[in-house]
Amino acid sequence: MGCNLTMKKALQHYHTTNNAPFWKNLLCALVAVLIVALPPVQLAKANILDTFGKFGVKEEAELGKKFSILVKSRMPIIEDPEIVSYVEGVLDRLQEHIPPQPFPFEVNVIVDDTLNAFAVPGGYVFVHTGMLLEMEHESELAGVLAHELAHITQRHIAKRIEKSQKVQLISLVGMLAGAVLGATTESGSNVTGGLITGSMAAGQAALLNYSRDDEREADHMGLIYLTEAGYNPKGLANSFAKIRKRKWQSGSNMPTYLSTHPAVEERQDYLADRVASLPKDLQDRPENDTKFKRVQTLVRSQFTDPATALTYFAKQEQTPLILMGQGIAAARINKVKQAADFFERAVEGAPKDYLVLREAGKFHYTKGDTNKAIFLLQKAAVRNPDDLMTLFYYARLLNDKGDSKTAATYYQKILQVLPEDSEVHFFYGKMLGQSGDEFNGHLHLAYSALYRNDAKKTAYHMKKAKAVATNEKQTAALELLKKQRDERAAYWE
């Protein structure tokens, strides 16, 4: 998967012979010297731990954690493991070719139709659903993420923070939120802007603004990470082109970096020229988009306007995957008969596809056909025993049939992987309460409300749990819940 020697030399040659006009001060000149002195991949592999200054690992991790809590307290986060694990997989593939980091990376997918993705200090990565849907190939999504990771590995934000040590952490969280998330409407529903290739817009976040040289370095390093990970190197420049095209076609919101960096066309040309200098076998790498298309179908059918999704799917080849998407979208607007037909045709066309079986099983469960749901979900579980969504609905079926003990083992297994899934906490809490475990029932219902950012219901169930707590273990569990509640409540409006 790594770059061969020819590719390394090609990248190095282009970078060292075409960058001179952009190094405008002594610091940038020094960076240029370092890049000339070291092959790009060697520079990429430099130990990031050696570059940490006064704003160290602890401070970066704390800033990232607080920012992550802020985002989760304001934005709808997808918990579907099929979608989240896919994005994690793309990130993991890139991570194998970036410098060692002092913290693990965490991925979250935000339900928002703007074309945005960003990574912040501390290893927190966020991708908007709009970015997942607008890209044509996985390599383009990977290109965006590679660029964002480069901003972190090169410590572009952290270095700027180091220059202003008097700024308090809470102020930095606010600045970072303004810069990354941009302005919101009065309802808080329209989040724009982002860090994708340097989108720093608000005047209050001038401290965090990426420079033109930061962007060039992130372009350079991002292309290295992308290519070393085995992707088609055209992915990064192609992602730029698609974002600009959508802006002109629809007039929709565009990441701030494109509106504040008028030289984006020049950057696209620069990247295209660099790719053209690579060996042809790298330029012609095949695109493997099978998983990407599956995730796009799930996102479109579950998290966009269902009527619009149905119109889109109707224009596509009627594969089992597309039929599944139509079934999901139709069910969301209560077209039950139509949805049932779509799912029947999808299962008939792909009887061994666990995703199709799972979604069909979910549909039949929600419309009350328990026997058909069990049949489909059991088949899905056989095909993929690790699919947590299948296990979740199977647990609900088991509880409905009176086997709460077995259902509890499934709920617990899911929460080990998805500890912040509000829906799992909700149904697990209801089951526990119905079976007589009042404390844990209210505890999980409180967590469910917390992760839905429902302050009133969180407080209600915390109070109920506290009233029935009888031992130190339960008291400690309440203290942990209170701590997490307080972290989020700091950002609740």
The tens digit of pLDDT for each residue in 252-285 reads 454 444 444 445 677 778 888 899 999 999 999 9
Asked if CATH classification 1.25.40 holds for the domain at 401-493, the reply, yes or no, is yes
Bigger pLDDT: 74 vs 460:
460
Most confident of 98-102, 149-153, 242-246, 483-487: 483-487
DSSP 375-407: HHHHHHHHH-TT-HHHHHHHHHHHHHTT-HHHH
The pLDDT of residue 46? 39
Alpha-carbon gap, residue 444 to 192, rounded angstroms:
33
SS3 state at 119: strand
For residue 302, pLDDT over 90 is answered with: yes
The pLDDT of residue 493? 65
Cα→Cα distances 483→15, 58, 442, 489, Å: 49, 20, 16, 10
Alpha-carbon gap, residue 340 to 362, rounded angstroms:
11
The pLDDT of residue 2? 38
305-385: CATH topology is 1.25.40
Strand partners, 126: 108, 118
Alpha-carbon gap, residue 328 to 298, rounded angstroms:
8
Strand partners, 127: 109, 117
Q: Find where tokens 């990130």 sit.
A: 91
Segment 378-399 shows an average pLDDT of 96
Provide the residue type at 176 as one letter: L
Segment 235-260 shows an average pLDDT of 64
Question: What is the pLDDT confidence band of residue 118, given thresholds at 50, 70 and 90?
Answer: confident
For residue 53, pLDDT over 50 is answered with: no
Segment 187-197 shows an average pLDDT of 37
- Asked if residue 125 lies in contact with residue 119, where contact means CB atoms within 8 angstroms, the answer is yes
- Asked if residue 185 lies in contact with residue 236, where contact means CB atoms within 8 angstroms, the answer is no
33-47, 91-105, 177-191, 387-401: segment of lowest average pLDDT: 33-47
Cα→Cα distances 465→66, 91, 355, 470, 475, Å: 27, 39, 37, 10, 9
Segment 171-180 shows an average pLDDT of 59
Domains 305-385 and 401-493 share a fold: yes
Q: Find where tokens 């594969």 sit.
A: 319
The pLDDT of residue 343? 98
For residue 74, pLDDT over 90 is answered with: no
For residue 40, pLDDT over 60 is answered with: no
Nearest to 396, CA basis, from 450, 434, 344, 343: 434
- Asked if residue 103 lies in contact with residue 64, where contact means CB atoms within 8 angstroms, the answer is yes
Under DSSP, the state recorded for 107 is: E
The pLDDT of residue 173? 64
Question: What is the pLDDT confidence band of residue 241, given thresholds at 50, 70 and 90?
Answer: confident
Q: Residue 472: exposed, middle, or buried by beta-carbon count in 10 A (0-12, 13-18, 19+)?
A: exposed
Domain residue spans of the chain:
5-283, 305-385, 401-493
For residue 415, pLDDT over 90 is answered with: yes
Bigger pLDDT: 183 vs 382:
382
The pLDDT of residue 331? 98
Q: Find where tokens 């209801």 sit.
A: 430
Burial 157-176 (b: 16+ CB within 10 A, else e): bbebbeeeeeeeeeebbbbb
For residue 177, pLDDT over 70 is answered with: no
pLDDT digits (tens, 9 = 90+) for 326-377: 999 999 999 999 999 999 999 999 999 999 999 999 999 999 999 999 999 9
The pLDDT of residue 20? 35
SS3 state at 262: coil
Alpha-carbon gap, residue 343 to 336, rounded angstroms:
10
- Residue 354's CB is within 10 A of a number of other CB atoms, namely 22
Give me the phi and psi of 480, to 5 degrees please.
Answer: -65, -40
pLDDT digits (tens, 9 = 90+) for 462-483: 999 999 999 999 999 999 999 9
Nearest to 181, CA basis, from 125, 123, 116, 235: 116
Segment 23-28 shows an average pLDDT of 32
What does the block give as tokens for 334? 């209560």
The pLDDT of residue 409? 96
Alpha-carbon gap, residue 153 to 44, rounded angstroms:
8
Angle at 316 between CA 310 and CA 319, to 5 degrees: 100
Most confident of 157-161, 181-185, 228-232: 228-232
- Asked if residue 27 lies in contact with residue 256, where contact means CB atoms within 8 angstroms, the answer is no
Alpha-carbon gap, residue 345 to 57, rounded angstroms:
53
Strand partners, 397: none
- Asked if residue 112 lies in contact with residue 122, where contact means CB atoms within 8 angstroms, the answer is no
For residue 197, pLDDT over 70 is answered with: no
Alpha-carbon gap, residue 115 to 144, rounded angstroms:
10
- Asked if residue 332 lies in contact with residue 306, where contact means CB atoms within 8 angstroms, the answer is yes
Mean pLDDT across the chain, nearest whole number? Answer: 81
Alpha-carbon gap, residue 274 to 304, rounded angstroms:
37
Alpha-carbon gap, residue 74 to 231, rounded angstroms:
34
The pLDDT of residue 179? 53
Q: Give the strand pairing for 117-120 and 106-110.
A: unpaired
The pLDDT of residue 419? 95
Percent of the chain whose pLDDT exceeds 70: 75
